[in-house]
Amino acid sequence: MKSAQTEDTLKENIATVRELLTQRKREEETEDQRSAENQEATKSLFQYQHWLELQAILKPLHIGDIAHILEILPLDDRLTVWQQVNIFRRGDVLLEVSDAVRENLIQSISEEDLLAALNLMDADDLAYIADDIPEDLLKIRQKTLTTEDKNWLRRAMSYEEDSVGFLMSNEMVVIYDNDALKDAAKILRGLEKLPIHNDTLFVVDRRGILRGILSLQNILLNDPNLPVHNIMETDIVYFSPQDDAGEASQAFERYDLVSAPVISDRGKLVGRLTVDVVMDYIRDEATEDVLNMAGISAEEDLFAPILNSARNRALWLLFNLGAAFFISQIIGIFEATITQLVSLAVLMPIVTSVGGNIGNQTAAIIIRGMTLGQINKENTTYLMRKELGVSALNGLVIGSIVGIFSFILYKNIALSIVISVAMLLTLILAALLGLLVPIFLHRIGRDPALGSSVIMTATIDSVGFFIFLGLASIFLVK
C-alpha cells in the first residue's frame, strides 16, 4: 500500500501545521526586536521557508483533510494555511468547508484570489456556493461559462436551499435504452472525469425521459451485447427538483441509496442526487437542531470573531431578556404576598426549574420525531395524551416530594399543599408547551427547534410563578 490517510496520520499532520504556525509567530516576535534595517529581508526569508514547509504538508493531503484543518484553526491561522493551498485545489477546498467557514474565507481573501478559485469551478459547484459569492464576482465568472452551463447555473440557483434541486448535480453518466451494455464502457472512457459515487448509469430514451437505471454490477455480470433495456432496473427511487431535501435524505436512508436520478414533471432526467451530499445535509440539519433549540439562529463558525458571535446570539438573548422582565412583573404583582410570607420567594424557583426541564425533554422528543418525519396530524392527539400522561405521572411524584420537603422546612401544611398543586399544574403545562411550541413553529413555516427552548422557558416561568404565587395569595395570606 502506497499510503493511507488514517485518522492518526491526519492528527499528525494537524500537529505539524500547528507547530509551523506557532513557530512562525514566535519568529515574527523576535524579528520585531531586531534592528529595523535588515528586518524586512529576514522576515520574508523566514516566511518563504515556512510557506514551503506548509505547502509540502498540504500537497499530499485529501481535499477533505485540508477543509478539516481549516475548520479547526482560528481565523488568522486559517487564512495563512489557505494561502498555501495549491491554487488549483482552492476551489475544491472552498466547496468542502462548512457554510460558516466558507463565508469567513470569502470575506477574508482578496477578490483576485477568490476569482481565481471560482474560475476553476464548474457550473454545478458555482450553484452550490453562489449565495456566498459577492454578486459582481459571480457575474464576471458567469461570462466565461458556456450557454449550457449558464442555463444550469441559473436554474440551480432558482431552487430553494432545502430542495433536491439545490443539492443535485449535473454530473452523471447517461446511456440510451437502445444501446448495448458494452457501450457503457465506451461512454465512461469518453468522459473527461468520472463522476463521484457513480454506482449506476441512468437510462433515458431519445427524448431524454428517464426509463430506468443500470448498475455497474449488472453491466459486469451480463452479456455485453444485450440491449440496455433488457437489463436495466425499472423499479427505482427518483426525485423531483422541488422535493424537500429532508424527505429525500430520509429516502436515501430508507432505501440505502448511493445515487438517485432527479426528473422534471414531464419525466425528463435533469440531475443526480448523491449520498455524499445527502450525508452532509443530514449532519447539518441535525447539528442545527442543537443550536436552534438553544437560541442560535444561524450556523456559527466555532472561531467566528467575537463581535459576529455576539450578534448572532443577541436576538434570542434579547427576546429572553424581554420575557424575563415580563416574568419579573408577574412576580411584582404579588410583592405584598411575598412580604408577608418570604418563604414563597425561597420556594418559587423550584416550581419553574423542574417545569423548564420537563418542557425541554418533551420538546427534544418532539423535535427529533419531526426531523425523522415521524410526526403528522394523525398521531398528534395520541402524542398529546401520552406526553400529558408522562408529565402527570412525574408531576404527582415530584409534587409530593416537594410538598414533603417544604413541610419539613416550614411546618406549614397549607403551604405544602399549595406548592404541590402548583408543581403538578406547572409540569402538565410544561409538557403541553413542549409538544405545542415545536408543532406551532413548524405550522407557521419555521424551524421547529428555533428558539423553542427560550419561548417555552419564558412561558413556563411566567405561568408557573403566577400559579404558585396566585394560589399562595388566595389560600395562605390574609
* Closest CB to a second copy among residues 27, 300: 300
Backbone angles phi, psi at 246, to 5 degrees: -65, -45
Using CB under 8 A as the binding rule, whether residue 45 contacts a second copy is answered as no
We find the least distance from the C-beta atom of residue 203 to a second copy, in angstroms, to be 10
User: Rounded CA gap, 455 and 295, in Å?
Assistant: 9
We find the least distance from the C-beta atom of residue 26 to a second copy, in angstroms, to be 15
| Residues 174-193: x where in contact with a second copy by CB under 8 A, - otherwise, as a string | ----------xx--xx----
* Closest CB to a second copy among residues 121, 354: 354
We find the least distance from the C-beta atom of residue 4 to a second copy, in angstroms, to be 6
Specify whether the CB–CB gap between 178 and 232 falls below 8 A: no
Where is 58: in which H helix or E strand?
helix 39-58
* Closest CB to a second copy among residues 6, 147: 6
**Interactions with a second copy, residue window 15-44 (CB under 8 A):** 18
User: Rounded CA gap, 16 and 64, in Å?
Assistant: 17
We find the least distance from the C-beta atom of residue 321 to a second copy, in angstroms, to be 6
* Closest CB to a second copy among residues 141, 177: 177
**Interactions with a second copy, residue window 206-235 (CB under 8 A):** 210-212, 216-217, 219-221, 234-235
Q: Is 15 left (phi over 0), alpha (psi -120 to 50) or beta?
A: alpha
HSE-up of residue 396 (Cα within 13 Å, Cβ side): 5
Using CB under 8 A as the binding rule, whether residue 474 contacts a second copy is answered as no
User: Rounded CA gap, 11 and 472, in Å?
Assistant: 60
Using CB under 8 A as the binding rule, whether residue 443 contacts a second copy is answered as no
We find the least distance from the C-beta atom of residue 188 to a second copy, in angstroms, to be 6
Specify whether the CB–CB gap between 330 and 461 falls below 8 A: no
- Angle between helix axes 99-108 and 63-71 (nearest 10 degrees) is 80
Q: Which of 273, 257, 180, 172 is CA-nearest to residue 219?
A: 180
List, as one string, the DSSP characters of 85-129.
S-TTTHHHHHHHS-HHHHHHHHHHS-HHHHHHHHHTS-HHHHHHH
We find the least distance from the C-beta atom of residue 135 to a second copy, in angstroms, to be 30
Residue 465 CB contacts under 8 Å (≥ 6 apart), including other chains: 327, 330, 331, 348, 351, 352
C-alpha Rg value of the chain to the nearest Å = 30
Candidate residues 142, 309, 380, 400; the one interacting with a second copy per rule CB under 8 A: 309
Q: How many residues bind a second copy (CB under 8 A)?
A: 142
**Interactions with a second copy, residue window 283-302 (CB under 8 A):** 283, 286-287, 289-291, 293-296, 300, 302
**Interactions with a second copy, residue window 48-107 (CB under 8 A):** 62, 64-65, 67-68, 71-74, 96
Candidate residues 447, 465, 472, 473; the one interacting with a second copy per rule CB under 8 A: 465
Using CB under 8 A as the binding rule, whether residue 400 contacts a second copy is answered as no
- Enter the C-alpha cell of residue 155: 436554474
* Closest CB to a second copy among residues 157, 330: 330
- Enter the C-alpha cell of residue 276: 455524499
We find the least distance from the C-beta atom of residue 41 to a second copy, in angstroms, to be 32
User: Rounded CA gap, 87 and 285, in Å?
Assistant: 31
Q: Which one of the spans 23-31, 83-91, 147-155, 276-284 is the region binding a second copy (CB under 8 A)? A: 276-284
3-state DSSP assignment of residue 376: coil
We find the least distance from the C-beta atom of residue 271 to a second copy, in angstroms, to be 16
List, as one string, the DSSP characters of 328-373.
HHHHHHTHHHHHH-THHHHHHHHHHHHHHHHHHHHHHHHHHHHHTT
We find the least distance from the C-beta atom of residue 440 to a second copy, in angstroms, to be 18
* Closest CB to a second copy among residues 286, 474: 286
We find the least distance from the C-beta atom of residue 310 to a second copy, in angstroms, to be 5
HSE-up of residue 363 (Cα within 13 Å, Cβ side): 33
We find the least distance from the C-beta atom of residue 189 to a second copy, in angstroms, to be 6
We find the least distance from the C-beta atom of residue 354 to a second copy, in angstroms, to be 5
Q: Which one of the spans 33-41, 118-126, 149-157, 401-409 is the region binding a second copy (CB under 8 A)? A: 401-409
* Closest CB to a second copy among residues 114, 181: 181
| Residues 360-399: x where in contact with a second copy by CB under 8 A, - otherwise, as a string | xx-xxx-xxx-xxxxxx-xx--xx--x--xx--xx--xx-
**Interactions with a second copy, residue window 124-163 (CB under 8 A):** none
Determine the residue type at 245: A
Residue 193 CB contacts under 8 Å (≥ 6 apart), including other chains: none
Q: Which one of the spans 33-41, 125-133, 318-326, 439-447 is the region binding a second copy (CB under 8 A)? A: 318-326
Residue 460 CB contacts under 8 Å (≥ 6 apart), including other chains: 352, 355, 356, 359, 426, 429, 430, 433
Candidate residues 454, 455, 472, 476; the one interacting with a second copy per rule CB under 8 A: 454
Using CB under 8 A as the binding rule, whether residue 202 contacts a second copy is answered as no
User: Rounded CA gap, 392 and 426, in Å?
Assistant: 10
We find the least distance from the C-beta atom of residue 384 to a second copy, in angstroms, to be 12
